[in-house]
A and B are shown apart, each in its own frame.
Chain A
């Protein structure tokens, strides 16, 4: 479904990604953990080409997408993304936020896009909030709208970049529940998160990244209970404390 081969990325003198090779099969939920600055977010952005890898190859459904002859806009339509800071469009209602992508990018008729947007809002438990503006919603509600907005493009996979890190504790649950439901419905997901409860119950695999490389990869139980790598062990013991 999604495969990366030896991804490298430099920001100036900083070598952020030093050769990331990964494969995610259909229906997989891959959770990436690691200390801040380890390149997790940059790696996610390399998959939908918000950041262009300097070296290496990104495949989606077997097609290499980081090529000059493939438009990044097309790639981004295939893979939805949810951000740490929600990034809802301030001037649009919840419904308009969700419907905008299909209307503008896929040229869907407005009423069709809005019908679908209503269904998606209902699916994330926000049917009653369709006319609310982002500023009128709680953080948890905003993030659920953001998930619906990404789903509206019918993505083949979803990328989550620390989706609960900016949330007050009382709103984390509702977002994780939506994500868990999505996983159970078979969505292919790559999630950067520090929510170990979510990782151990929903993830099919966990990857530990540090210093721009993958140090360890395995099932949740292996990573949390029997980490092989010294640094994985130190990191896991710190966050599971």
Chain B
């Protein structure tokens, strides 16, 4: 515990566009050029082929916005669920800790695609008709879109279970002594939570959360298996039609390269954004090895 050495504090955050960042961007550019040259030289195919994009373009755009929509829906829900479950597990109240533990165990133990299928196929049956009608009135959800929304919730809960463990670790890494010191100052439980426990938990959770967000973004592609309006699903739909619609098989290579690149850029941006926040709030003594 005692850090006896008086090391020079490295409190200044390093610049965002450091050498490693620049190197990563160079890697991306080289990778992209490599991909295009493989296509044009080896496969004798131009990724910009207008015949491909005339057909696939609308699917790509619709899928991309659909994916963004699902991420915007799922990400906040997963963080909320994960944080609540993580907190519940360390709350010390058995009535909270036990259900939270069961939740985490269940969603960690079952493949996400299975949970998603369950939610999609049978979820609606668990929602009373009155609630369904209410949702229709307020959010304009049709009976067709409700199963997809429920499937999205399944993705959120799956990620939430992992995030619960991240937050739990964050909560538990705050020493009992600091909590006792806060109590000794006369702080009430709520004040201790707000001023001592939460700020440290959030800071310690940021690096592993960035990792989990990257997983979540890619997991939204599972919704494509149900036929949701989402990048992988719509791309698969188009690829399947290539032989009938008179396209070239090599289009598939271009399509999936574009899809891969899109997911890569999304996860890259999100993890970099999180690292930026992480650096902004860096505190000596509150470092976790970041990925």
Chain A residues at the B interface, C-beta cutoff of 8 Å: 48, 50, 73-74, 76-77, 80-81, 83, 85-91, 100-101, 104-105, 132-139, 142, 146, 149-150, 153, 166-168, 171
| Residue pair A104, B2 in contact (C-beta under 8 Å) | no
A138 pairs with B285, CB closer than 8 A = no
Q: How far is the CB of A237 from chain B (nearest CB, A)?
A: 30
* Cα A82 to Cα B284 with chains together (Å): 23
Quick one: CB contact mask for B258-291 with A, threshold 8 Å, 1 for yes? 0000000000000000000000000111100000
How many B residues touch A, CB cutoff 8 Å?
Answer: 31
Instruction: From known contacts A76-B185, A87-B177, infer whether A171 and B285 are also in contact, taking CB-CB under 8 Å.
Output: no
* Cross-interface CB contact of B183 among A76, A85, A166, cutoff 8 Å: A76
> Which residues of A lie under 8 Å from residue B283 when comparing CB positions?
90-91, 133
Q: Which residues on the A side are within 8 Å of B61 (C-beta)? A: none
A85 touching B177 in the complex, CB below 8 Å, given contacts A90-B285, A166-B2: yes
Would A90 and B2 be within 8 Å (CB), given that A76-B184, A133-B11, A133-B283 are in contact? no
Across-interface contacts of A100 in B (CB, < 8 A): 185, 195
Q: Is the CB of B184 within 8 A of A138?
A: no
**Does residue B191 face the partner (Cβ distance < 8 Å to A)?**
yes
- Least Cβ–Cβ distance between B95 and chain A, in angstroms: 23
Instruction: Say how far B244's CB is from chain A's closest CB, in angstroms.
Output: 61
Interface residues of B in 9-53 (CB under 8 A from A): 9, 11
Question: Hey, which chain B residues are within 8 Å of A142, CB to CB?
Answer: 2
Contacts of B196 in A (CB 8 A): 89
Write out the residue numbers on chain A whose beta carbons fall within 8 Å of the beta carbon of B184: 48, 50, 76, 80-81, 83, 150
* 11 A-B residue pairings within 8 Å (CB atoms): A50-B183, A76-B185, A86-B2, A133-B9, A136-B3, A136-B11, A137-B6, A139-B4, A142-B2, A146-B181, A149-B185
Which residue of the partner chain, among A101, A139, A167, contacts B187 with CB atoms under 8 Å? A101
Cα A22 to Cα B3 with chains together (Å)? 37
Chain B interface SS verdict (over half): loop
Are A77 and B186 CB-contacts (below 8 A) given A104-B195, A133-B283, A134-B285? yes
**Interchain CB contact under 8 A, B187 and A90:** no
Q: Are the CB atoms of A105 and B4 closer together than 8 Å?
A: no
Q: Give, as a whole number of angstroms, the nearest-CB distance from B199 to chain A.
A: 5
Given the complex, which residues of A lie within 8 Å of B191, measured CB to CB?
Answer: 104-105
Residues of B within 8 A of A105 (CB): 185-187, 191
Q: Does B200 contact A (CB under 8 A)?
A: yes
CB contacts (< 8 Å) of A77 on chain B: these are 185-186
Q: B175: which A residues are within 8 A, CB to CB? A: 85, 87
* Cα–Cα, bound, A83→B179 (Å): 12
B180 interface contact, C-beta 8 A:
yes
B186 touches A91 (CB 8 A): no
Neighbouring B residues of A138 by C-beta, 8 Å? 3-6
Q: Is the CB of B94 closer than 8 A to any CB of chain A?
A: no
The answer on a CB contact under 8 Å between B187 and A89 is: no
Q: Assess the A76–B186 pair: CB atoms within 8 A.
A: yes
Contact call A153/B186, Cβ cutoff below 8 A:
yes
Question: CB distance B2 to A89 under 8 Å?
Answer: no
CB within 8 Å for A136 and B7 given contacts A73-B187, A89-B196: yes
**Whole-angstrom CA separation of A83 from B185 in the bound complex:** 12
Smallest CB separation, A211 vs chain B (Å): 25
- Is B142 interfacial (CB-CB < 8 Å)? no
Interface residue? B178 (CB, 8 A): yes
Residue of B nearest to A139 (CB): B2
**B11: A residues at CB distance < 8 A:** 133, 136
Contact of A91 with B203 in the complex, beta carbons under 8 Å: yes
Task: Give the chain B neighbours of A89 by CB distance below 8 A.
Answer: 178, 181-182, 195-196
Does B1 have its Cβ within 8 Å of any Cβ on chain A? yes
Distance in angstroms between the alpha carbons of A142 and B283 in the assembled complex: 16
Chain A residue contacts of B187, Cβ below 8 A: 73, 101, 104-105
Q: A104-B195, A132-B9, A136-B9 are in contact. Are A83 and B284 (CB under 8 A)?
A: no
Chain A, Cβ-Cβ closest to B199: A91
B181 touches A133 (CB 8 A): no
Judging by beta carbons under 8 Å apart, are B2 and A167 in contact?
yes
Partner of A90, one of B5, B178, B183: B178
Which A residues lie within 8 Å of B188 (CB)? Answer: 73
